[in-house]
Amino acid sequence: MITITFPDNSKREYEKGVTPKAVAKAIAPGLAKKSVAAKIDGVLTELDRPIETDASLELVVKGTDAAFEVLNHSTAHLLAHAVKRLYPDARFGVGPAIDEGFYYDIKTDEAIRDEDLSRIEEMMRKIAKEDLPIKREVVTKEEAVSRFSADPYKQELLQEIEDDEITLYSQNGFTDLCRGGHVERTSLIRHFKLLSVAGAYWRGDSEREMLTRIYGTSWFTEEKLDEYLALREERRERDHRKLGKELKIFLLSDEAGQGLPIWLPNGFTVRRVLEEYVQRLERRYGYKHLSPPILGTRQLYETSGHFKHYKDDMFPLIEDEDESYVLRPMACPHHAIVYKSELRSYRDLPLRYAEIVTQYRYEKSGALSGLERVRAMTLTDAHIFARKDQIKHEVLSAYGLIRKAINDLGLTIEYVELALRDADKGKFHESDELWDEAEKVMKELLDEERIEYTEMKGEAAFYGPKIDIQVRTALGHIITMSTVQLDFLLPERFDLTYIGEDGKRHRPVLIHRGLISTWERLMSILLEQFKGAFPTWLAPTQAAIIPVSVEKHLDHANKLQGLFLDADYRTEVDDREEKLGKKIRDAQQKKIPFQLVIGDNEVEENTVTYRRYGEKEQHTVGFDEFMELFAKEIAQKK
């Protein structure tokens, strides 16, 4: 007899050689059906694996991540098996389960394209129906090497395994090198779909061969599969790169440079509205605005420490014979220079300098992603110079301002991170004393205010700890939006001082604040959040004025347009000789918040007939009444 220990620490005796499946059946009727695989002593394996010694056992049941992984891993084998039948020359790289499914890297003489996926999928269904048992086998390394003699990629993988025992999984006619676990039979794989094809370098090394990576996803029920496919479609619809192109918000072109977006008129309009909004808000919160140039001397960034700790993120120096310049990666050094340009007294503090700063960071090309991570970006930045006794007030006030702005934009804070340093020497400045003090102040302040946070070791800025504010978009995508950072270093490096009440010199502290991220990242978030349908206060075009007949109603439409422009609204007249239906559809496609239709009645009675984006009903109201409604909606940022 052997003793099996369960996750709740209960123990039971079984015959030697009992399988997890038999154990499941003995525990409860139905449990075996729900189980997909098992973990024996923590190692994922099959339900029919005999247990020979005392062990711990956890059944992997449907609905858990582990079960999803097992199913998807098995589906990856099924994919490879189908490819092998259709392309007998195929050689195989790796085929793991991933977050939302699986992939397999494959080399075939004849290229596999998107069009081929349905054929492969059909073959997968056929093999699944054949109901082949999936069998585990343990062989010596030597044996494995000879079994895979025709497959150079598997050979290479085998060379790297140190163990002499190799596990193989076979399903009549197809064998793969694999750690397991798998479902018991191919017929248990039923609800799957192949999704896409991409190129992938062998071992991720661009010097080596390019294989074909086929992605797919596999679920336990048809409903779950459908749900997932609908989510994918929704994501595609909301993808800011797709929306940014359709709505002419921005342009990314390799000719202009990777990660160097061009703002198109529509996007630039939204950006200007936001810029006015931010600057007005900042004035109310006691900030003053600065505007330094985009270059600074090398010396400036030597002094700040950027050159030492942040060089990898900076564009290469711009150098002449005896001068060298840095393309600004951050605004802080210039703001420190401004602080230093006058004698400061304790009564001058806090000094809050804001800047909507265009800065350049040499992000790795692999990290660039649409507008979310770019190399040229404009940040809603500020630097607050304060006395130590003002830290708490200033950090909280910055946090309050951030909350207001995020709320005005229709977003919500998901959670707050406190980014601290770790032992990585090159990344952070060396003074333990300054670090300890700054981290302590930040923790105390968050605790006192009962702001919950997650500590993130190693994520601090080189000059100090950060409070990073994360937002969640409509699709559940979590992004760092705002930041408040406490810095004792830069004031020291720039030798910043103020004259205290005691007549002596004191060191101020520096609080860095990013309000609503960069316009680039913010735009990526807003596009995804609103699916491109901006609220009226932000929309590039707030209303489309549509004359029913160009001949009869254009004059009146133009007259209204003049009134809207005078009142500083963003409207446009559709003066094309098109059918009314088409004009309305086009306005709808551009996601313009209001369509105003002008026909005989509207001209005669000075009314407008409006319809909101995405709504069916139309309403006819007097022009003045519409203006009021419009103004109210914009003021309320709805």
Under the rule (CB under 5 A), what is the footprint of Zn ion?
332, 512
Q: Report d(CA 262, CA 161) in Å as an integer.
A: 49
Phi/psi of residue 617, each to 5°? -65, 150
383/590 with CB nearer ligand TSB: 383
| Nearest distance from C-beta of residue 547 to Zn ion, angstroms | 51
CA-closest candidate to residue 196, choices 118, 109, 97, 107: 118
| Nearest distance from C-beta of residue 515 to ligand TSB, angstroms | 9
127/332 with CB nearer Zn ion: 332
Q: Report d(CA 429, CA 584) in Å as an integer.
A: 59
3-class SS shares of the chain: helix, strand, coil, % to 5 = 40, 30, 30
180/514 with CB nearer Zn ion: 514
| Nearest distance from C-beta of residue 378 to Zn ion, angstroms | 14
The one-character DSSP state at 46 is -
376/538 with CB nearer ligand TSB: 376
Residues 6+ apart with CB under 8 A from 602: 553, 556, 608, 609, 620
Which one of the spans 10-18, 172-180, 444-452, 475-483 is the region binding ligand TSB (CB under 6 A)? 475-483
Choose the contact partner of 361 out of Zn ion, ligand TSB, none; CB within 5 to 8 A by kind.
Answer: ligand TSB
| Nearest distance from C-beta of residue 49 to ligand TSB, angstroms | 48
How many helices (H) and strands (E) in the chain? 20, 33
Choose the contact partner of 421 out of ligand TSB, Zn ion, none; CB within 5 to 8 A by kind.
Answer: none
Task: Return contacts of 193-201, CB within 8 angstroms, 24+ apart.
Answer: 193/121, 193/217, 193/218, 193/225, 193/229, 194/79, 194/117, 194/118, 194/120, 194/121, 194/124, 195/101, 195/232, 196/114, 196/117, 197/112, 197/113, 197/114, 197/116, 197/117, 200/93, 200/105
| Contact flag: residue 378 with ligand TSB (CB under 6 A) | no
| Contact flag: residue 480 with ligand TSB (CB under 6 A) | yes
Sign for the CA dihedral angle at 207, 211, 216, 218 comes to negative
360/630 with CB nearer ligand TSB: 360
| Nearest distance from C-beta of residue 351 to ligand TSB, angstroms | 14
Q: Residue 172 pairs with which residues in a beta bridge?
A: none
Choose the contact partner of 374 out of ligand TSB, Zn ion, none; CB within 5 to 8 A by kind.
Answer: ligand TSB
| Nearest distance from C-beta of residue 417 to Zn ion, angstroms | 17
Q: For 269-294, what is the HEC assignment?
A: HHHHHHHHHHHHHHHHCCCEECCCCC
Burial class, 419, CB count within 10 angstroms (exposed 0-12 / middle 13-18 / buried 19+): buried
| Nearest distance from C-beta of residue 269 to ligand TSB, angstroms | 20
Binding mask 356-375 for ligand TSB (x = CB under 6 A): -----x-x---------xx-
Other Cβ atoms within 10 Å of 165 Cβ, number? 10
Q: Are 290 and 332 in contact (CB under 8 A)?
A: no
Which one of the spans 152-160, 376-384, 403-411, 530-538 is the region binding ligand TSB (CB under 6 A)? 376-384
Phi/psi of residue 5, each to 5°? -105, 130
Other Cβ atoms within 10 Å of 36 Cβ, number? 26
Choose the contact partner of 352 out of Zn ion, ligand TSB, none; CB within 5 to 8 A by kind.
Answer: none
Output the six-digit token pair for 58: 């956890």
331/406 with CB nearer Zn ion: 331
51/511 with CB nearer Zn ion: 511
The strand pair at 466-472 and 413-420 is best described as antiparallel
Q: Are 626 and 637 in contact (CB under 8 A)?
A: no
363/633 with CB nearer ligand TSB: 363
- The beta-strand segments (E) located in 141-289 are 165-171, 174-177, 191-201, 210-219, 250-251, 262-263, 288-289
Choose the contact partner of 60 out of Zn ion, ligand TSB, none; CB within 5 to 8 A by kind.
Answer: none
Q: Report d(CA 48, CA 136) in Å as an integer.
A: 10
| Contact flag: residue 521 with ligand TSB (CB under 6 A) | yes
Q: Are 14 and 1 in contact (CB under 8 A)?
A: yes
| Contact flag: residue 561 with ligand TSB (CB under 6 A) | no
| Nearest distance from C-beta of residue 298 to Zn ion, angstroms | 19
310/626 with CB nearer Zn ion: 310
| Nearest distance from C-beta of residue 383 to Zn ion, angstroms | 6
334/553 with CB nearer Zn ion: 334
Q: Report d(CA 65, CA 210) in Å as an integer.
A: 31
Binding mask 302-341 for ligand TSB (x = CB under 6 A): ----------------------------x-x---------
91/521 with CB nearer Zn ion: 521
- DSSP line for 343-360: --BGGG-SEEEEEEEEEE
| Contact flag: residue 483 with ligand TSB (CB under 6 A) | yes
# residues near ligand TSB by CB under 6 A: 20
| Nearest distance from C-beta of residue 359 to ligand TSB, angstroms | 7
Q: Report d(CA 509, CA 489) in Å as an integer.
A: 8
| Nearest distance from C-beta of residue 484 to ligand TSB, angstroms | 8
Choose the contact partner of 363 out of Zn ion, ligand TSB, none; CB within 5 to 8 A by kind.
Answer: ligand TSB
Choose the contact partner of 521 out of ligand TSB, Zn ion, none; CB within 5 to 8 A by kind.
Answer: ligand TSB
328/387 with CB nearer ligand TSB: 328
Q: Report d(CA 590, CA 221) in Å as an integer.
A: 38
Q: Report d(CA 524, CA 124) in Å as an integer.
A: 38
378/609 with CB nearer Zn ion: 378
Binding mask 381-420 for ligand TSB (x = CB under 6 A): x-x-------------------------------------
270/330 with CB nearer ligand TSB: 330
Catalog residues that contact ligand TSB under the rule CB under 6 A: 330, 332, 361, 363, 373-374, 377, 379, 381, 383, 480-481, 483, 512-514, 517-518, 520-521
